[in-house]
């Protein structure tokens, strides 16, 4: 394969996507590409790690074995390469490891933003917020919005009124929970379309007008209908329908459900809308026609406008209210969080996206932002030659817009030195709800090839290295049935699917197995059939992996519980585990922390008292809220949450853990989660409790367990045996609920609306178009989901559905019945005979699979946590001596500079002194003028200049005789006495001999303390002695000197004094 070809590969499930990607990477290396000039991006850290590992393994194997080298050389189209050549390529990759660009799209975008912060309007370094930190910031913003004393501020009143409009008819008591959920649902949508004019704007949605929105008088319309009804010759049942309808219409108000007799007549009237008021019109009630006069038809049209128009008006107002709420929240969030340099990955992506309408900007004007964006593209384009993109069907249009200019340059490279390569499978596009856009694959291919035919080649990988022939037979039978697919997914979804479809082949034709469609009577029978299959096949005994795939997490939990309870099968539901709240131990621990942080919380206090911790705290004389608070909060401040949690979980002979494996496991998980929170640096107990309440873990993978997981989580995985028992449900084209966002071809948002009921939406031409589009997207995603489920198996797959009978629902069971058959037959699976409709393969395949030996079972004697005298893990305590602020500060100093001003002043002085390498210097006065030109505070310049020119400090700046080097503002990290030290040397002068070996060192630490007399200086020296001792030892390690050869001095900048700080006795 030539490395300079531009290729888009559609790789079917199990066809070797990673193999193709890694071969491409190696091929580029063989063509002479520098490893750091290749970008390879995927969606998960796990996939990126696998990609990197596979590259190293492939090169290492080829470097160590000529036979493997020959195979790899043939794969990449370079038969001239041998083991020595691959060894050289391996060395190049290892040497460039710290510069490689192999990772996730999110991490790549973050690296770009860190490299160009000022061009993106950032003040400098920024922090990427993880899920908990982002939620904490949200709570702070909401708290700020609702915090007030006395009268509400105008912006607070506006926010609350907007929230009322956005939740018309849905008043709730738990405002906080409702608002949090509200932001979850709508914030990302707002960021995708922040312009107010596209939210609930009737003129934007219906540029030619919407007839239901005209103003009408209800009373005359109802009177006219009653007049017509009095003389109408209709059956009693029809008359009753009319009377009920008129009564319901009279009582109806916006926000009230449209149902019953009101909905019945309204739907009939909407069907005949074009004829109402234009003469006599016929309506059919219960298959009986009735004729309305022109006057009655016009009156009915007015009632329709009152109800349908009233509901549309409410929905428009609700949509505008949602926009106003989220805009208010986002403005507060932007000012308090983003501008403070705290960004989510989504924020970073939006910063990098070109254009963006009215999205929150950090640069001043759009023109400046666009110019800076092009500058970033130019710089990146100069550093990157080759692009490799994985899982391209899950790429969003926004992500592509960031990369498009750069990839344009690669594809249009006239010299053929650069390349573009992407791989994906549009048949596995199951993340459209996360903005994944499978249409991009075809659009990009056509875009480049329309401009220059043949620019990009398209290849198909259809040979599955995962699934045996029986499974491939079933997959082809279902997904290759083009006519049935077109019937179930009419229009664009089936066109896209059938265009991309190629019949699959098995690359492992000797792999025995079976595929079958089985029938069950109901949900209980589906569970029972699943258990019978697992027991009959007994895959774990032969070392085979087994998975049960479902659509929802609650289904996974229910089936796993059934398998364990009814059959004793070791099964685990791989849904998210709330390890701090799904067990009594975790709940009691959270009560402990809550009671310590909030002594007045009687609920937490009583919970604590009734748990084993109650006796433990009493025994330690911590029975009062005040004593408990002092103890726990002191522990947290001194040791962090991990060690505090471990202490209480080990207390009194591990009583908190209990004696079972589950309790010990949850205790370990609780402590591990506490360690993660410690890594944030926070000691806020309330934040810790909130973090633990939502903290989730996944059950670890184990070949010794039957894994029950959702189809989404199974993507990318393979199992020897797969059972799919939960495909029942709604129509395959059921659109997702939520705000309707109508998008143009370029994915820009045209309008946003909280849709009315489907009956109203499908009676309006504009809304009908949107509904059809949404159903098409949902249908394609549903078909992709079924494809993912049916391509996970290696040897055997059993799909279990209930019989479709006379049902006409377009759901998965119906699709399988149409493609595989629905007539009942008896299907043999090992020693079982089960009802079903289709089977292929060997029913006795299990007997032919040689036993690999059962995998190691989980340790049922998992030890409890160690006793209290044992340390927790080997993690070092993190210390930052430069950040310590301890000691007694004289009152005059308190008022000399406030905390933040003093910190800024000290930072300015340190920054100026870091400019000085040696003094005196010929450019001395130029330095001072440069400081003034930078706009540094005059007082800071004066203090720094006084220090530089003071005779008493001359030794600090003077170059010593002989060889010497100076470190200025040099950051370091080092492990001392089990503590991880992070610090910054202000100034270190290192003397060296002619051979370059260090012979002595002096550490100068600048202090802007406002000291005056000798007593204040002595106290300041005592206060900082501990820090200087750490710095002395760190400098000794970093220079290779004995500690005795390192001198430490404090330099008090205000007094222009230097004081030698003697080392601690050791």
Pairing of strands 832-841, 288-292: unpaired
| Buried b or exposed e, range 862-887, using 16+ CB within 10 angstroms | eebbeeeeeebeeeeeebebbeeeee
Asked if residues 679 and 527 have their Cβ atoms less than 8 Å apart, the reply is: no
Residue located via tokens 């258990």: 531
- Give the H/E segment covering residue 45: helix 45-64
**How far is 1018 from 1011, CA to CA, in rounded Å?**
9
- Residue 147 annotated in ligand binding: no
**Residue 13 marked as a ligand binder:** yes
Alpha-carbon distance 17 to 376, whole Å?
Answer: 31
Q: Is 617 annotated as a binding residue?
A: no
Residue 453 has what DSSP assignment?
T
Secondary structure letter of residue 1044 according to DSSP: G
Residues 6+ apart with CB under 8 A from 791: 12, 13, 14, 464, 466, 467, 471, 475
* 17 known member of a binding site: yes
Tell whether 11 is in a known binding site.
Answer: yes
Residue 405: C-alpha distances to residues 9, 109, 373, 379, 446 (Å): 21, 15, 10, 12, 16
**Residue 15 annotated as binding?**
yes
975 preceded by a cis bond (ω within 30 of 0): no
**Among all chains, which residue has been given the structure tokens 């903005």?**
435
Q: How far is the C-alpha of 901 from the C-alpha of 893, rounded, in Å?
A: 12
Q: Is 4 exposed, middle or buried (0-12, 13-18, 19+ CB in 10 A)?
A: middle
Residues, the chain, total?
1066
Going by C-alpha positions, the residue among 679, 695, 668 that lies closest to residue 875 is: 679
Q: Rounded distance, CA 644 to CA 753, Å? A: 50
DSSP notation for 174-213: -HHHHHHHHHHHHHHHHHH---GGGBS-HHHH-TT--GGG
10: nearest Cα among 421, 453, 493, 397? 421
- Residue 70 in marked binding region: no
What does the DSSP 8-state code read for residue 1049? E
Residues 6+ apart with CB under 8 A from 261: 241, 244, 245, 247, 248
* Dihedral sign from CA coordinates of 224, 227, 232, 234: positive
* Antiparallel, parallel or unpaired: β 706-710 and 571-573: parallel
Determine contact, residues 956/962, Cβ cutoff 8 Å.
no
Q: How would DSSP label each residue in 481-547? A: -HHHHHHHSTTHHHHHHHHH----EES-TT---EEEEEEESSHHHHHHHHHHHHHHH-GGGGT--EE
Count of other CB atoms within 10 angstroms of residue 601:
16
| 18 labelled binding-site residue | yes
SS3 sequence of 353-384:
CCCCCCCCCCCCCHHHHHHHHHHHHHHHHHHC
- Binding residues for ATP, as ranges, are 11-18
- Binding residues, as ranges, are 11-18
């Amino acid at each position: 394969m030539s490395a300079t070809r531009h290729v888009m590969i559609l790789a079917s499930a199990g066809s070797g996507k990673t193999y193709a990607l890694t071969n491409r990477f190696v091929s580029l290396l063989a063509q002479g590409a520098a490893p750091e000039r290749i970008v390879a991006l995927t969606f998960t850290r796990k996939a990126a790690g696998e990609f990197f590992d596979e590259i190293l393994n492939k090169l290492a194997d080829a470097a160590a074995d000529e036979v493997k080298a020959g195979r790899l050389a043939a794969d990449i189209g370079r038969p001239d390469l041998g083991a020595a050549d691959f060894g050289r390529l391996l060395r190049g990759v290892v040497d460039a490891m710290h510069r490689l660009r192999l990772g996730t799209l999110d991490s790549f975008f973050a690296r770009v933003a860190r490299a160009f912060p000022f061009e993106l309007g950032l003040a400098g370094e920024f922090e990427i917020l993880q899920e908990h930190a982002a939620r904490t910031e949200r709570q702070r913003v909401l708290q700020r919005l609702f915090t007030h004393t006395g009268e509400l501020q105008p912006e607070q009143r506006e926010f609350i009124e907007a929230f009322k409009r956005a939740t018309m008819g849905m008043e709730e008591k738990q405002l906080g929970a409702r608002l949090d959920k509200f932001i979850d649902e709508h914030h990302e949508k707002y960021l995708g379309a922040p312009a107010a004019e596209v939210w609930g704007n009737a003129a934007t949605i219906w540029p030619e007008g919407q007839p239901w929105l005209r103003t009408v008088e209800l009373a005359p319309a109802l009177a006219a209908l009653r007049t017509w009804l009095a003389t109408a010759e209709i059956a009693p049942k029809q008359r009753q329908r009319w009377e009920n309808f008129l009564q319901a219409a009279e009582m109806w108000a916006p926000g009230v459900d449209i149902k019953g007799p009101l909905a019945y007549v309204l739907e009939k009237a909407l069907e005949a809308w074009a004829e109402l008021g234009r003469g006599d019109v016929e309506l059919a009630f219960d298959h009986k026609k009735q004729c309305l006069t022109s006057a009655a038809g016009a009156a009915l049209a007015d009632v329709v406008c009152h109800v349908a128009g009233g509901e549309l008006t409410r929905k428009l107002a609700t949509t505008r209210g949602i926009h106003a709420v989220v805009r208010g929240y986002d403005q507060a969030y932007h000012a308090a969080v983003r501008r403070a340099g705290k960004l989510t990955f989504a924020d970073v992506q939006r910063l990098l996206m070109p254009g963006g309408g009215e999205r929150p900007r950090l640069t001043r004007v759009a023109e400046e932002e666009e110019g800076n964006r092009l500058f970033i593209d130019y710089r990146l384009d100069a550093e990157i030659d080759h692009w490799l993109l994985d899982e391209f069907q899950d790429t969003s249009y926004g992500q592509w817009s960031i990369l498009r200019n750069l990839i344009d340059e690669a594809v249009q490279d006239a010299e053929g030195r650069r390349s573009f390569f992407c791989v994906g499978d549009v048949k596995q596009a199951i993340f459209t709800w996360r903005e994944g856009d499978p249409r991009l694959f075809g659009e990009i291919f056509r875009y480049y090839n329309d401009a220059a035919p043949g620019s990009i080649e398209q290849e198909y990988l259809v040979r599955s290295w995962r699934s045996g022939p029986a499974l491939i037979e079933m997959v082809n039978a279902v997904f290759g049935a083009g006519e049935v697919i077109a019937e179930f997914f009419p229009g664009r979804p089936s066109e896209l699917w059938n265009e991309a479809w190629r019949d699959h082949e098995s690359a492992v034709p000797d792999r025995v197995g079976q595929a079958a469609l089985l029938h069950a009577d109901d949900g209980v029978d589906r569970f029972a059939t699943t258990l019978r299959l697992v027991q009959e096949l007994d895959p774990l005994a032969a070392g085979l992996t087994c998975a049960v795939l479902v659509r929802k997490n609650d289904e996974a939990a229910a089936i796993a519980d059934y398998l364990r309870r009814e059959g004793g099968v070791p099964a685990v539901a791989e849904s998210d585990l709330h390890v701090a709240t799904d067990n009594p131990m975790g709940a009691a621990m959270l009560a402990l922390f809550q009671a310590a942080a909030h002594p007045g919380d009687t609920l937490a206090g009583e919970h604590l008292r009734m748990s084993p911790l109650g006796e433990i705290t009493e025994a330690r004389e911590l029975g009062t809220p005040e004593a408990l608070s002092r103890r726990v909060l002191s522990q947290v401040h001194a040791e962090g949450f991990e060690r505090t949690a471990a202490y209480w979980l080990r207390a009194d002979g591990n009583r908190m853990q209990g004696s079972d494996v589950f309790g010990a496991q949850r205790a370990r998980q609780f402590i591990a989660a506490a360690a993660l929170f410690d890594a944030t640096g926070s000691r806020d107990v309330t934040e810790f409790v909130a973090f633990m309440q939502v903290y989730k873990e996944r059950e670890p993978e184990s070949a010794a367990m039957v894994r029950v997981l959702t189809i989404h989580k199974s993507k990318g995985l393979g199992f020897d045996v797969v059972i799919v028992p939960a495909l029942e449900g709604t129509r395959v084209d059921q659109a997702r609920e939520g705000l309707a966002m109508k998008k143009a071809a370029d994915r820009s948002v045209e309008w946003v609306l909280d849709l009315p009921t489907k009956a109203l939406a499908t009676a309006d031409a504009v809304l009908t178009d949107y509904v059809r589009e949404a159903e098409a997207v949902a249908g394609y995603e549903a078909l992709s989901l079924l494809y993912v489920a049916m391509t996970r198996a290696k040897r055997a797959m059993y799909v279990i559905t209930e019989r479709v009978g006379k049902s006409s629902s377009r759901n998965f069971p119906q699709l399988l019945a149409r493609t595989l058959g629905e007539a009942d037959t008896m299907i043999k699976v090992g020693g079982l005979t089960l009802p079903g409709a289709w089977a292929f393969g060997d029913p006795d395949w299990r007997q032919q699979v040689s036993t690999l030996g059962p995998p190691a079972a989980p340790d049922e004697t998992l030890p409890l946590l160690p006793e209290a005298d044992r340390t927790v893990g080997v993690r070092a305590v993190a210390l930052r001596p430069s950040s310590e602020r301890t000691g007694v500060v004289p009152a005059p100093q308190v008022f000399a500079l406030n905390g933040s001003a003093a910190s800024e002043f000290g930072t300015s002085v340190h920054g100026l002194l870091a400019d000085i390498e040696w003094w005196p210097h010929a450019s001395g006065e130029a330095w001072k003028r440069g400081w003034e030109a930078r706009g540094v505070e005059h007082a800071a310049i004066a203090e720094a200049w006084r220090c530089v020119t003071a005779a008493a400090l001359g030794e600090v700046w003077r170059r010593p005789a002989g060889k010497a080097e100076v470190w200025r503002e040099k950051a370091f990290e080092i492990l001392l006495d089990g503590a991880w030290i992070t610090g910054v040397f202000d100034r270190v002068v290192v003397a060296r001999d002619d051979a370059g070996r260090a012979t002595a060192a002096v550490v100068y630490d600048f202090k802007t303390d406002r000291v005056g007399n000798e007593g204040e200086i002595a106290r300041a020296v005592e206060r900082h002695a501990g820090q200087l001792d750490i710095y002395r030892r760190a400098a000794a390690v970093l220079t290779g000197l004995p500690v005795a050869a390192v001198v430490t001095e404090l330099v008090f900048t205000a007094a222009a004094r230097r004081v030698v700080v003697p080392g601690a006795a050791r």
